[in-house]
Amino acid sequence: MAQVEAAGGGLKAPIRRTGRFLSEAAPPTLALFLLAAGWEALVRVRNIPPYLLPAPSAVLLRLWTDGPGLLAEGVFTLMEALAGFGLGSAAAIVAGAAMARWRLLERSLFPLAVLVKVTPVVTVAPLFIIWFGFGLLPKVLIAALITFFPVLVNAVTGLKAVEPAALEFFESVGASGWEILLKLRFPASLPYLFAAFRVSVVLGLIGAVVAEWLGAERGLGRAVLLANQNLDMAGLFAGVFLLALCGVGLTGLIRFWERQLLFWHESFLAAEELAERGKL
């Protein structure tokens, strides 16, 4: 009896999850469809010229015909953004660990990092083009620079957000500063790091696109810029649509990774519990 019930529960859970996904995805999909329909009607009824606003059908057609080409450019931009994000995050975590380890370093540099975090650093992009040319490097570096500061600030905050009793336990068993960093501070900082990753990964994409605008041989940013210069609005919207997909993909990747690593954290436990009670 108990076994039958358990098996039933095992089957029911994925179905329930799919059902939840459908009920969550249906309203925005419907809204998007209605929006596109209204837009299409507006363009047709008002006879708006395509160099001002293309109809969604024209954008879709463009995606169909130019899709493979645009997709190749998209992969290029995605690589720039991901490489920059990886580089910037890794550097930020190392710098954050150093700051958490040496108070003087933190006291002198952390306020500056907070300041730079709220500065739109993308504005220094032209300088990077002058320094590093039109190749891949300046794009990656700009994406890395944008990623760096939000991750650094959260890393420093997270590395210090440990339970005092846990720290005391590590001390009481004679753990070294290095072991405390690796086995306590770093895992404890993961929720903070992922909060920063979710923001930074999209910022990195913006950085790569802006860098491409300033001079590039490949990439979706460059494709969008060219379309704009040629008053090819359907091409521009097709590019923006693909960039949006890139953003969704990158955020999804971070979310997935977060789910794997942070199963123990309150944010997920709370969500799980609500789901159990059928409230989500």
Partner 1 sequence: MTGPLVEVQGLIKGFESSAGHLLVLRDLTFRVGAGEFVAVVGPSGCGKTTLLRILAGLLPPSGGSVAVAGCDPRLARREKQVGFVFQTPALLPWRTVLENVRLALEVNRVSRPALKPEDLLELMGLAEFADYYPHQLSGGMAQRVALARALVFDPKLLLMDEPFSALDELTRSAMRYELLRVWEQTRKTVVFVTHSIPEAVILADRVLVLSRRPAHLAGELVVNLPRPRTEDMEDSVPFQEAVRWLKLRLRAAA
Distance CA(211)–CA(219), nearest Å, equals: 10
- Smallest distance, partner 1 to C-beta of residue 72, A: 40
Confirm or reject binding of residue 68 to partner 1 (CB under 8 A): no
The tokens for 221 are 């940013």
Contact residue for partner 1 among 12, 16, 20, 183 (CB under 8 A): 183
3-class SS at 280?
Answer: coil
Selected range binding partner 1 among 9-17, 34-42, 81-89, 183-191, rule: CB under 8 A? 183-191
Smallest distance from partner 1 to CB 51, Å: 55
Please tell me what DSSP assigns to residue 47: T
CA neighbor of 92 nearest in space, from 224, 196, 218: 196
Contact status: 168 vs partner 1 (CB under 8 A): yes
- With respect to partner 1, which residue has the nearer C-beta, 51 or 169? 169
What are the tokens at 261? Answer: 């690593």
Q: Are 205 and 143 in contact (CB under 8 A)?
A: yes
Between 179 and 276, whose beta carbon lies closer to partner 1? Answer: 179
- Contact between 276 and partner 1 by CB under 8 A: the answer reads no
Chosen residue from 14, 28, 174, 278 binding partner 1 by CB under 8 A: 174
User: What does the block give as tokens for 101?
Assistant: 């380890």
Q: Which helix (H) or strand (E) holds 82?
A: helix 56-101
Q: Which of 56, 86, 187, 247 binds partner 1 (CB under 8 A)?
A: 187
Q: Give yes or no for residue 170 binding partner 1 (CB under 8 A).
A: yes
Give phi and psi for 120, each to the nearest 5: -75, 85
Name which of 183 and 255 has its Cβ closer to partner 1. 183
